[in-house]
Amino acid sequence: MLFLLRLFFHCPYLRNFMLAGAVTCLLFLQFTGTSVFANPLEKHPPNGTLSVQAASVEQQLGANTAETSPGTVNGMDEKQQFLQQHLEQLYFETEERVGGEPIYTTGYLLDLYRKNQFNLLWDNPASIDQLLKAIYASADEGLTPEDYHLEALIRYGHDDEEETAELRQVEYDLLLSDAMLLLAHHKRDGKVDPRKVEDKKNLEPATPRPWPVDTFLSAIKNSTVQAVLDKLSPHHPSYLNLKKALHDYRQIAARGVWRHIPAGQSLKPGMTDPRVVLVRKRLAVTGELAGRSLDSSYYDRQLETAVKTFQTRHHLEPDGVIGKATLRAMNITAEERIDQIRVNLERTRWVVNDLPHSNLIVDIAGFMLQYYHNNELVWKSKVMVGKPYHQTPVFRSAITYLVLNPTWTPTPDIVKNETVPSIINDPDYLAKQRMRVLDSSGNEIDPVTIPWRQYYGKVLPYTLRQDPGRDNSLGLIKFLFPNPYHVYLHDTPTKFLFGRTQRAFSHGCIRVQNPLELARLMLANDPGNPTTVRKIDQILASGKTTTVILKQPLPVYLMYLTTNVQDGQVMFKPDLYNRDEGVVAALNAPPSPLSLTVQLPEAKGGLSMSNQQVRIGKTVRYVQNQPRESSQVVQDTL
């Protein structure tokens, strides 16, 4: 014994090791209440069993003061332990299903039940009834009720088995919670991950949306589940109008009166053709043609007016001639139109809850631009967008500055594929277009000295720049907003193209019909901006290239909407870039598991973590929110 004491005092490493072991034992006693010196004959649980001692610190501390009964461990009864164990197995992927049903909101569920001390939540029948009603009603928004465990919940609700009552009760509770959380997410943010179905998609909110765990707990306990879920659905007029359109077209489909019209020669006013009868009945279904005389095969003036109305509603040239395009639109089935409306309800969910009070919305498929100020539509204009092989991307940004009397620098692809061939065919092309040739140092080069044929189909080692002026490809003004696609709004000298119904003519940028009107409105609504309307006119008259910085950047949304409602009329637009099919397939597919993003609290000790997030899904990832660079090198794609 004396030897051990001497060794303890004269060997610091051994002394530190023994002290650390003692502290560990004391801490173990403090937080678990378990004897450190356990009976060596006592049986221990198998290694594969998950410990229920991973509860929150609050629960562990509370277990020290709570009276324990034979059916409790650390203050938790068997049902709580089973529920916690089940959630941990789901979270750490040792299980993926509950009662044969896939679980989609694992991270949310773990957080939800932890806040409720791992007690069951759904002991109020009224809350269950409200959830089931909300699930059924999800179809009215283009969602699929079966995605939310509908059949399983009905089965569990009628289950009277006594032998597995406790297990079934836990499973039922988890499925109810999973259904509610998944439906809440889909109603607020959409079911489909837009990054998987939209080209160059970036419509995510700038900051993570909050996870209102306390709101959901309160809703379940106070029987306000349906009210909370209804509140999460968008209430923007555009969304409500599409909901009504979906209801109307489902009624049309239920009547089964949508008949196919055979192909043939174009039908024009004054003609007699048996197919005219089918056209009359087709237009009567969707309301373009009124009246009882639907059996006439003569194409009269009344029918011509109805056909033009149909063509306008479907973004076709309203010429009254039933050609291939018009006949194709008439033969799209009611079921296909229902899917088209569902797709655009989903696209609206992606952004509508985050729309600021003032913004610009570019409707790519509808070739329109709308300017909202303080939630009111104050201005709109026709636009041209990218050709199908130069698609205008879908994203959000904010206009930060304007350029009056801009120059135009075509991209290398435009130079290689269009400009150089034009120069080879016409040596005076550059002079006619008022374009200069610059070297890498910005020095002007005489174009006569350049062997243009040598660069046919190759990248030109020079920069071409068009001088400002009304005939400049960008017109008199361009509007810049940060994005990785080199896309912006601008004027154009080819105003006559705005007379077309289909206006996909650009290389990806958005050409605006009346851009100077937009600039004057934007600057008038930009408090503190010294650039007045009079100043704009002076700058334009000078011909000098001038940049005007906005005091308050104006959010801009480039959206691809193939259906909307205008003045009570459902407008169907051609799927210009063939993007609807992917969204329909994703809407009809099983849901994807959700990940949970929460803000970390401010750290003590001077270390700020306010810009950090933790994303909780099947794996835990830490994400640092870095400020985005607003500067960009602008390339002109037109």
Beta bridge partners of 362: 369, 558
Q: Supply the pTM of this predicted model.
A: 0.80
Q: Give the residue carrying structure tokens 């810009």.
A: 611
The pLDDT value given to residue 91: 86
Give me the DSSP letters along 68-115: P-TTEETTEEHHHHHHHHHHHHHHTTS--EETTEE-S-HHHHHHHHHH
Beta bridge partners of 463: 438
Name the pLDDT band for 364 (thresholds 50, 70, 90): very high
CB 474 within 8 A of CB 634: no
Beta bridge partners of 384: 511
Closest CA to 460 of 427, 426, 423: 423
CATH of domain 356-581: 2.40.440.10
The pLDDT value given to residue 165: 80
Q: Which residues contact 556 (CB under 8 A, 6 or more apart)?
A: 359, 360, 361, 362, 396, 397, 398, 399, 481, 489
Is 509 noted as a catalytic residue in this protein? yes
Q: Pick the catalytic residue: 86, 185, 314, 509? A: 509
Residue 169, number of CB atoms within 10 A of its CB: 18
Q: 173-209 burial string, b = 16+ CB within 10 Å, else e?
A: bbbbbbbbbbbbbbbbbbbbebeebbebbbbbeeeee
Query: Using one digit for the tens of pLDDT, what is the confidence trace for 90-105?
Result: 888 777 899 899 999 9
The pLDDT value given to residue 195: 84
The superfamily CATH assigns to domain 259-332 is PGBD-like superfamily/PGBD (1.10.101.10)
Burial of 451 (0-12, 13-18, 19+ CB in 10 A): exposed
Name the pLDDT band for 402 (thresholds 50, 70, 90): very high
Residue 175 has pLDDT above 70, yes or no: yes
Give the amino acid at 39. N
Residue 623 has pLDDT above 60, yes or no: no
Question: Is-same-fold flag (259-332; 356-581)?
Answer: no
Residue 610 has pLDDT above 50, yes or no: no
Q: Pick the catalytic residue: 185, 186, 314, 490? A: 490
Closest CA to 259 of 333, 178, 358: 333
The pLDDT value given to residue 622: 31
Segments of 388-473 assigned E as strands = 395-404, 435-438, 444-445, 463-466
Name the pLDDT band for 199 (thresholds 50, 70, 90): low
Q: Give the residue carrying structure tokens 């229920």.
A: 52
Q: Which residues contact 7 (CB under 8 A, 6 or more apart)?
A: 14
Structural domain boundaries of the chain? Answer: 2-32, 259-332, 356-581
Name the pLDDT band for 37 (thresholds 50, 70, 90): very low
> What percent of the chain has a predicted confidence (pLDDT) above 90?
68
Lowest mean pLDDT among 106-115, 203-212, 502-511, 534-543: 203-212
Query: Using one digit for the tens of pLDDT, what is the confidence trace for 224-270?
Result: 999 999 999 999 999 999 999 999 999 999 988 788 999 999 999 99
Name the pLDDT band for 553 (thresholds 50, 70, 90): very high
d(CA 229, CA 593): 19
